[in-house]
Amino acid sequence: MTHKYNKKLHRSLGPAALLISLALLPTSGWSHGWAGKRFFPSTLLTEDPFVNDEFSFIVGHIKGPDEDGVLNRTTNMESEYTKTIFPNFGISLGGNVNFIDPVNGDADHSGFSNMEVGAKYQFFTSARYESLASIGLAASIGGTGNPNVPEGDAFSTLAPGIFFGQGFGFLPKNMKFLRPFAFTGLVQANVPTTRESFIDGEFSRNPNTLTWGGAIEYSIPYLQAFVKDVGIPAPFNRMIPVVEALATKCIDRACSGTTGTINPGVMWVGSYFQLGLEATIPFNDATGKHVGVMAQFHILIDDVAPKSLGRPLFGN
Amino acid sequence: MKTATPLCKIAFFLLLQLWLAAVQAHAFIDHSQSKTGAELDVPPKAIVLTFDKSIEAAFSSIKIVREESQKVIATGAAQGVEGESDKLVLPLSELSPGEYHVYWEILARDGHRTMGDYTFVVR
C-alpha cells in the first residue's frame, strides 16, 4: 500500500512541477483581463477568459419553469471570489442563494445551492492580437446546498472548460469603428459524479451536459482612446454595451433538449469596480417565456489592493 | 445556510482590504490634447496625455511615428508635469502635414502597465 502510494505521489510530482513552472513563466507585467490595450470586462452570464483577483456579486430575477415544469418567480444572489496563486493561475470560491416563489401559490422556499470551487489557468495572452485563452475546472460540491433549490444536488458536478477572448483591434483602417468590438466565448462540459440519484423514492438519472456561449461587447473607452474621440461624456465614456448568450444541452441518459438565455445589457467599468445590468431573455419555451433581469457589482481587487490582496501569492 | 458564514467572512475581509488599501489602480488614458482621430489645422507643440490615475513618468514612454513613412519622429524623452502626476508630455518640433501615430506605454503608481496608441492628422 505504501509502495503504491509513493508511486502515485512520485508520478504526480512531474505534472505538478510542470504546472508550477508554466504558471511562474515571466509575464510582461500586464494585469489580467488585459491583452495589450484591450480590457476584457467581467461579464455577468458567461465565464471570463482570464484569471484575476476579483470579487463578484450578481443578483438576478426571472419567472420561469423549474426542472419539474413548475412555474416560479426566482431571485438568485450569487457571489464569487477569485484569487491568483501564480500570475496566470487562480482559484475561485463561490456560492449562491435562491429565493423561490411558486406562481401557483405554494409556499415560498429558499436555500443555498451547492458551493462551487474552481481553478483556472490562463495559458495564452497576445498583446499584439488582443487575444487570451484559459482552461479551467469548476466543481459544484454535492451535499453542501439545499436539495430543494436548483443546483443543490447531493452529487457533485465537475465542469472542465475552455475560455477565450478576442479583440478586434486588428481590423483595417476602413473598418476602424468596428475595432472596439470584442468577443469572448466558452465551451464547458458538466459531468455529474454519480450516474443516478435516489430522490423521493425513485431513481433518477443525472445526465452529462454541454454548455457553450459567449459575449459580444463594444467598448466605448476603447473607441474614444484608440479610434476616435467622439466626445462621449462621463459616465457613458466608461460603458461597454454587451450581448451575452449561454446555452446548456443534455447529451445522454434519457435527457435531451437545450435551454439558454440571451442577455443584452451594459457594463460600466470604473477604476476599482464594475457595474453591470442585463435583461435575461429565454431563447425557447423550455427555458421560459418571461424576461428577467441581472445586475452585477464587481470589485477589481488587483486595482484596489495591488500590493496585497490583489497580487498573486507567488510570482510577480 | 452551510456556506453563509465562510462567504460572509470572505466578504468582510475583502471590504476591509478595500477600506485599508492605498487607492491606486491601472491608469487608463483619459484624454489626449491632440484628440484621438482628430484632424488639426495647427500642428501640436507637444503630445500631452492625461490619465485617470497617477503614473510613474520616469518609467513611461511616448513615441510618435509618421504613418506614411513609418519613420519615428526624433524627440526627447517623455516627461511628467510637476504637480500633475496624471500627465505625460512629449515636446515636439514642428510637424509637417500628414498622419501621425502616437504610441504610449505607462507604469501606474500601483505597478500595473497599460499601453495604447492613436492617430491624428495635421492638415
Q: Residue A60 pLDDT > 80, yes or no?
A: yes
User: Which one has a higher pLDDT value, B122 or B13?
Assistant: B122
The dihedral region occupied by A14, where left means phi > 0, alpha psi between -120 and 50, and beta the remainder, is alpha
- pLDDT per residue over A236-287, tens digit each? 999 999 999 999 999 887 777 899 999 999 999 998 999 999 999 999 988 8
Give the gap in angstroms from C-alpha A209 to the nearest C-alpha of chain B.
26
Confidence of residue B16 (pLDDT cuts 50, 70, 90): low
B28-55 pLDDT, tens digit per residue, is: 998 898 899 999 999 999 999 999 999 9
Tell me the mean pLDDT in the region A228-243.
Answer: 95
**Residue B23 with chain A: CB contacts under 8 Å:** 272, 304
In-domain check, residue B104: yes
Measure B33 CA to nearest chain A CA, in Å: 11
Contact A306 B24 (CB under 8 A): yes
The three three-digit cell numbers of residue A252, written as one number: 445522454
Give the number of beta-carbon pairs within 8 Å between A and B. 105
Q: State mean pLDDT over A90-109.
A: 91
Q: Which letter does DSSP use for residue B68 in this model?
A: T
Q: Is residue A237 part of a domain?
A: yes
Question: Where residue A198 falls among pLDDT bands split at 50, 70, 90?
Answer: confident
Check CB contact under 8 Å for A95 and B7: yes
Q: What is the pLDDT of residue B7?
A: 54
**pLDDT tens for residues A151-179?**
778 889 999 999 999 999 999 999 999 99
Judged by CB atoms closer than 8 Å, whether chains meet at B26 and A31 is answered as yes
Measured between CA atoms, the residue of chain A closest to residue B2 is: A144
Q: Where are the alpha helices (DSSP H) in B1-123?
A: 4-20
pLDDT in tens, B64-112: 999 999 999 988 899 999 999 999 999 998 899 999 999 999 999 888 8
Q: How confident is the model at residue A26 (pLDDT cuts 50, 70, 90)?
A: very low
Q: What is the pTM of this model?
A: 0.85
Mean of the per-residue pLDDT values of chain A: 88
Least confidently predicted of A123-127, A142-146, B40-44, B97-101: A142-146
**pLDDT on residue B14:** 53
Range(s) of the domain holding residue A122: 30-304
Cis peptide bond N-terminal to A180, omega within 30: no
Asked whether residue A173 is domain-assigned, the answer is yes
Question: Residue A294 belongs to a domain with what CATH number?
Answer: 2.40.160.40
* Interchain pair A306, B23: CB under 8 A: no
Phi-psi region of A154 (alpha: psi -120 to 50; beta: other; left: phi over 0): alpha
In a domain, A115, yes or no: yes
The answer as to whether A297 is a domain residue is yes
| pLDDT the model gives residue A3 | 37
ipTM surpasses 0.95? no
CA-CA distance, A164 to A43, in Å (whole number)?
13
Does residue B12 carry a pLDDT above 90? no
Out of B21, B117, B118, closest to residue A308 by CB: B21
Instruction: Return the pLDDT at A152.
Output: 79
Give the domain range for residue B103: 24-122
B106 within some domain: yes
Residue B11 lies in a domain: no
**Residue A67: per-residue pLDDT:** 73
CATH number at residue B51: 2.60.40.1220
- B110 in a structural domain: yes
The pLDDT value given to residue A239 = 97
Domain count, chain A: 1
Q: Is residue A1 part of a domain?
A: no
**Does a structural domain hold residue B17?**
no
Of the candidates B14, B23, B36, which has its C-beta nearest A224's C-beta?
A: B36
Please report whether residue A95 resides in a domain: yes
The number of distinct structural domains making up chain B is 1
Whether A141 is covered by a domain: the verdict is yes
- Give the integer Cα–Cα distance in Å for A148 and A109: 8
* Res A109: pLDDT: 85
Pick from A18-27, A40-49, A60-69: least confident: A18-27
| Residue A264: inside a domain | yes
Let me know if residue B6 belongs to a domain.
no
